[in-house]
A and B are shown apart, each in its own frame.
Chain A
Amino acid sequence: MFECISFFERIEDLHVKLKKGTYLLLIAEETPFLEIQPKEGVTLSGAIFPRVIFKDKTYSQGIIAAKLSATSSMQIIDMDNPQQLRTDPNTSAIFAIIDGFSTQIDGFLEEFYSLLPEKTKLVGGGAGKTTSIQEPVIFDASRFYMNAAIIITSLHTIGVGVKHGWKPLLGPFIATSCHGNVLEKMNYQDAFTIYKEAVEKESGFCIDSTPFFQFSQRYPLGIVRYNKDFIVRELASTDGNTIVLVGDLDENSVLLILKGEKEDLIAAAEEAAHISRFNKEEDTVQSILLIDCIARYQFLDELFPKELEAISSVYPRKSILWGVLSLGEIANANQEGIEFYNKTCVVATL
């Protein structure tokens, strides 16, 4: 998919160092960035993320430039109109970067999935800033886009592993009323009342005197699926009655309150890497693309490098680990519909 991955500290360096070719730029949120000087023979598109990952470190400032291989192509499409997507029937892999604050993520992914060739595997993540405000964070050489997606298609096969490490604490609960990403009622009662009672009872937290972020990042919700791992849903905010989630929820979904232990999360990341690398010979691994949730980074805090180490340990030493800390992760690990995950680790073996 990519023939060369480079890291730059400053935007200005790109103009000097990029050689002819097509590049995907992943830019960390705090990177001073107004525009990119055009350069002859260089085509680029990119997106802004909370942080970028390169080798064993994460950066709040800096740019990853991934040069597309000859068998890959890149396009920006409007998330309102996935039908714009152009794919070769032999496309094996897709790297998709979507607007993490778009209100159309679910509909877009559903339609997008329907258009994929039969054996295509997909990884990706939500772009955006931690300010929680939707901004135009996707760009190409000519302009910035809002509510858009960068789609990179490739004929090369990739390995995909998706794991989160969160464990069920309480449940099940039924989402008896919800609209979009707002969970109004669980078990016919105000969602936050149920959540608060359950978490306080289990954890000993006094939720009223604890900052929302502190308990919500530790106790997310899980959406149950039949015979499959649940999907983690992060809590974004509450008005004291309802809970706003990062991602949509179907009414009558079965929910669990989850609990995370740092060791479990790190172990899960390693397991995702194992799944992703499955059957890949050492010399066929070009690089490791990691789409990891910014909330995991915040939760793991000083232990986050351990997660990166755990993933790297699965691969040959020379393999470059790169990627982003995103606002939501996407993948279709088992050829099923593309899922929008939170607090999850998506590892792609390129």
Chain B
Amino acid sequence: MQQLNEQLLITFECVSAIGTSLQLREMMDHFLKVVSRKMGALASIYWTYETKTHTYKQLCLNGKKAYQALFVPPSCSTPLESIRFDHASGKHLLHVKVGEDWIGFIFQASEAEIELIKAIIASFESKLENAIQACKNHLELIEINQTLEHRVEEEVLKNREKDQHILQQSRLAQMGEMISMIAHQWRQPLGSISAVAASIKLKTSLNRFDYTTPEGIEASKLFLGEAMSKIESYVQFLTHTIDDFRNFFKPNKQKESVTLAQLVNRTLEIIGKALEINGITINVETRSNHELFTYANEVTQVILNILKNAEDVIKEREIKRAQILITIENEGSWQIISIEDNAGGIPEQVLPHIFEPYFSTKSEKNGTGLGLYMSKTIIEEHCGGEILAHNTSVGAKFTIKLQEG
């Protein structure tokens, strides 16, 4: 009875030594010290399992260092609880597996006494295992906290890089569209130049001018002069078009005072011809002509993008009597431009997602899914305005609101 009492009390002391710290080494050091002191161990050891290397690492050694060599590091073949007698030293070794880790003790005692000690340790083994796990979790949490700031910085950097990437992609997509628009703009003047050149070539090859007479020479001069003037005029048009596109693409981070009507005109200079070729009628209603102080090129880019989307959907749906209505008005201090087409509108399930990056309904046509995302970024983040989209009875309507002044 007295021995049982003593065992219970010592068990209480050992259990009380569990979990006294969340620092694994400190906790196990204290635990081994108390157990060794109370049970009379000559030395004790704790090996922790390293999951990364699948090896055991000695974390604590308590007692006489001279006995350290007697401890045999655990391996997968070590029995869960074992008592071994070391003949050379005359000492008993007790190894106990606690979760994935091991504790070991050296005793100068009989095997029967060590069996009892083993039973006492077994009675609180699961508590010790939980305490060890708590310490490991705590350590992991500290490490996560320590690296969290670093990880946030990394993520912010990644996001910045992603934004840059998106911007780059968007620019490339726009350039592709621009080249298409340039092609539309140039087709007619180039055709005209070609026609003038062909007529010169034809008249020359057919000897239509009689260079032997002064009248013939004069007629030839007149013809060539007119032809050259036409070519000059077409080339000037081409140059003007290139200037328009170049100005549009020129990185211009300066705000300027401009009216929405001016921005619409600039846009139509670029895309107007393409719309016209596709049989799309543009109606512009200017009800307000107040100036804005904003990034003109960027807003032009947004208007252009909306018009281009309208053109694409009109062509895709083969809309007869296609129309785009551009309305410029004001509402308090807000200048508002609405662009409404008659192409039937945006499907309801698609509408909530149109401003998300990489969202496109025209994948087959090389849509990048970045146009409206960039438009929203430009209007809301750069220009401090608002961009909205909804369906009307005839089609989709985009509304851009910008502050006056």
Which residues of chain A have a CB within 8 Å of any CB of chain B? 110, 113-118, 172, 174, 224-228, 250-254, 334-337
Residue of A nearest to B109 (CB): A227
Judge whether B335 is part of the interface by a CB distance below 8 angstroms.
no
- The answer to whether A336 and B41 have CB atoms under 8 Å apart is yes
Judge whether B63 is part of the interface by a CB distance below 8 angstroms.
yes
| In the complex, the 7 A-B pairs of residues with the closest C-beta atoms, listed nearest first | A252-B16, A118-B66, A254-B9, A226-B10, A226-B39, A114-B65, A336-B40
B135 to chain A: closest CB distance in Å?
19
- The answer to whether B37 and A250 have CB atoms under 8 Å apart is yes
- The answer to whether A224 and B9 have CB atoms under 8 Å apart is yes
What does the 1/0 interface line of B21-39 toward A look like (CB < 8 Å)? 0000000000001101111
- The answer to whether A116 and B113 have CB atoms under 8 Å apart is no
- Of the residues A118, A227, A334, A337, contact of B37 by C-beta under 8 Å: A337
Within 8 A of A (CB), among B93-142: 108-109, 113, 117, 120
Judge whether B7 is part of the interface by a CB distance below 8 angstroms.
yes
Indicate whether A113 sits within 8 Å of B38 (C-beta atoms), given known contacts A174-B12, A224-B6, A252-B13.
no
- The answer to whether A250 and B64 have CB atoms under 8 Å apart is no
- The answer to whether A226 and B12 have CB atoms under 8 Å apart is no
Q: Please indicate which of the listed interface residues B5, B16, B120 has the most CB atoms of chain A within 10 Å of its own CB.
A: B16
Residues of chain A within 8 A of B38, CB atoms compared:
225-226
- Of the residues B6, B13, B66, B117, contact of A116 by C-beta under 8 Å: B66
- Of the residues B10, B64, B109, contact of A114 by C-beta under 8 Å: B64
- Could you tell me the distance between the alpha carbons of A48 and B7 in the complex, rounded to whole angstroms? 41
- The answer to whether B63 and A227 have CB atoms under 8 Å apart is no
- The answer to whether A115 and B12 have CB atoms under 8 Å apart is no
What does the 1/0 interface line of B302-346 toward A look like (CB < 8 Å)? 000000000000000000000000000000000000000000000
A23 to chain B: closest CB distance in Å?
30
- The answer to whether B117 and A226 have CB atoms under 8 Å apart is yes
Residues of chain B within 8 A of A118, CB atoms compared:
64, 66-67, 89
Judge whether B42 is part of the interface by a CB distance below 8 angstroms.
yes
Q: Please indicate which of the listed interface residues A110, A225, A227, A252 has the most CB atoms of chain B within 10 Å of its own CB.
A: A227
Residues of chain B within 8 A of A172, CB atoms compared:
5, 9
**What are 7 pairs between A and B in contact, CB < 8 Å?**
A114-B61, A116-B64, A226-B10, A227-B109, A251-B16, A253-B13, A254-B10
- The answer to whether B12 and A254 have CB atoms under 8 Å apart is yes
- The answer to whether B66 and A225 have CB atoms under 8 Å apart is no
- Could you tell me the distance between the alpha carbons of A174 and B17 in the complex, rounded to whole angstroms? 13
- Could you tell me the distance between the alpha carbons of A273 and B350 in the complex, rounded to whole angstroms? 97
A110 to chain B: closest CB distance in Å?
7
- The answer to whether B40 and A226 have CB atoms under 8 Å apart is yes
- Could you tell me the distance between the alpha carbons of A226 and B34 in the complex, rounded to whole angstroms? 11
- Could you tell me the distance between the alpha carbons of A224 and B42 in the complex, rounded to whole angstroms? 18
Residues of chain A within 8 A of B117, CB atoms compared:
226
- The answer to whether B5 and A227 have CB atoms under 8 Å apart is no
Indicate whether A335 sits within 8 Å of B108 (C-beta atoms), given known contacts A114-B63, A115-B65, A117-B66.
yes
- Of the residues A116, A224, A250, contact of B34 by C-beta under 8 Å: A250
- Could you tell me the distance between the alpha carbons of A116 and B7 in the complex, rounded to whole angstroms? 30
Residues of chain B within 8 A of A113, CB atoms compared:
63-64
- The answer to whether B33 and A110 have CB atoms under 8 Å apart is yes
Q: What's the A-B contact tally at a CB cutoff of 8 Å?
A: 69
Residues of chain A within 8 A of B108, CB atoms compared:
334-336
Residue of B nearest to A224 (CB): B9
- Of the residues A110, A174, A228, A254, contact of B40 by C-beta under 8 Å: A228
Residues of chain B within 8 A of A250, CB atoms compared:
13, 17, 34, 37
- Could you tell me the distance between the alpha carbons of A224 and B7 in the complex, rounded to whole angstroms? 11
- Could you tell me the distance between the alpha carbons of A172 and B13 in the complex, rounded to whole angstroms? 12
- Could you tell me the distance between the alpha carbons of A226 and B35 in the complex, rounded to whole angstroms? 10
- The answer to whether A254 and B42 have CB atoms under 8 Å apart is no
Residues of chain B within 8 A of A253, CB atoms compared:
13
- The answer to whether B13 and A254 have CB atoms under 8 Å apart is yes
B106 to chain A: closest CB distance in Å?
10
- Could you tell me the distance between the alpha carbons of A275 and B235 in the complex, rounded to whole angstroms? 121
- Could you tell me the distance between the alpha carbons of A224 and B40 in the complex, rounded to whole angstroms? 12
- Could you tell me the distance between the alpha carbons of A252 and B64 in the complex, rounded to whole angstroms? 24
- Could you tell me the distance between the alpha carbons of A67 and B78 in the complex, rounded to whole angstroms? 52
Residue of A nearest to B9 (CB): A254
Q: Please indicate which of the listed interface residues B36, B37, B65 has the most CB atoms of chain A within 10 Å of its own CB.
A: B37
Q: Please indicate which of the listed interface residues B6, B9, B89 has the most CB atoms of chain A within 10 Å of its own CB.
A: B9
- Of the residues B13, B42, B89, contact of A336 by C-beta under 8 Å: B42
- Could you tell me the distance between the alpha carbons of A224 and B2 in the complex, rounded to whole angstroms? 12
- Could you tell me the distance between the alpha carbons of A174 and B9 in the complex, rounded to whole angstroms? 9
- The answer to whether A225 and B64 have CB atoms under 8 Å apart is no
- Could you tell me the distance between the alpha carbons of A254 and B41 in the complex, rounded to whole angstroms? 18
A104 to chain B: closest CB distance in Å?
16
A121 to chain B: closest CB distance in Å?
12
- Could you tell me the distance between the alpha carbons of A116 and B68 in the complex, rounded to whole angstroms? 12
Residue of B nearest to A114 (CB): B65
B105 to chain A: closest CB distance in Å?
11
Residues of chain A within 8 A of B6, CB atoms compared:
224, 226-227
Residues of chain B within 8 A of A337, CB atoms compared:
36-37, 63
Residues of chain B within 8 A of A115, CB atoms compared:
65
Residues of chain B within 8 A of A116, CB atoms compared:
64, 66
Residue of A nearest to B15 (CB): A252
Residue of B nearest to A227 (CB): B113
Residues of chain A within 8 A of B37, CB atoms compared:
225, 250, 337
B30 to chain A: closest CB distance in Å?
9
Residue of A nearest to B107 (CB): A336
- Could you tell me the distance between the alpha carbons of A116 and B113 in the complex, rounded to whole angstroms? 25
Residue of A nearest to B3 (CB): A227
Residues of chain A within 8 A of B65, CB atoms compared:
114-115
Q: Please indicate which of the listed interface residues B7, B38, B41, B117 has the most CB atoms of chain A within 10 Å of its own CB.
A: B38
- The answer to whether B12 and A224 have CB atoms under 8 Å apart is no
B256 to chain A: closest CB distance in Å?
75
B67 to chain A: closest CB distance in Å?
7
- Of the residues B5, B7, B17, B40, contact of A252 by C-beta under 8 Å: B17
- The answer to whether A334 and B40 have CB atoms under 8 Å apart is yes
Residue of B nearest to A252 (CB): B16
Residues of chain B within 8 A of A251, CB atoms compared:
16
Residue of A nearest to B65 (CB): A114
Residues of chain A within 8 A of B61, CB atoms compared:
114
- Could you tell me the distance between the alpha carbons of A116 and B42 in the complex, rounded to whole angstroms? 12
What does the 1/0 interface line of B43-86 toward A look like (CB < 8 Å)? 00000000000000000011111110000000000000000000
- Could you tell me the distance between the alpha carbons of A110 and B37 in the complex, rounded to whole angstroms? 10
Residues of chain B within 8 A of A335, CB atoms compared:
42, 64, 108
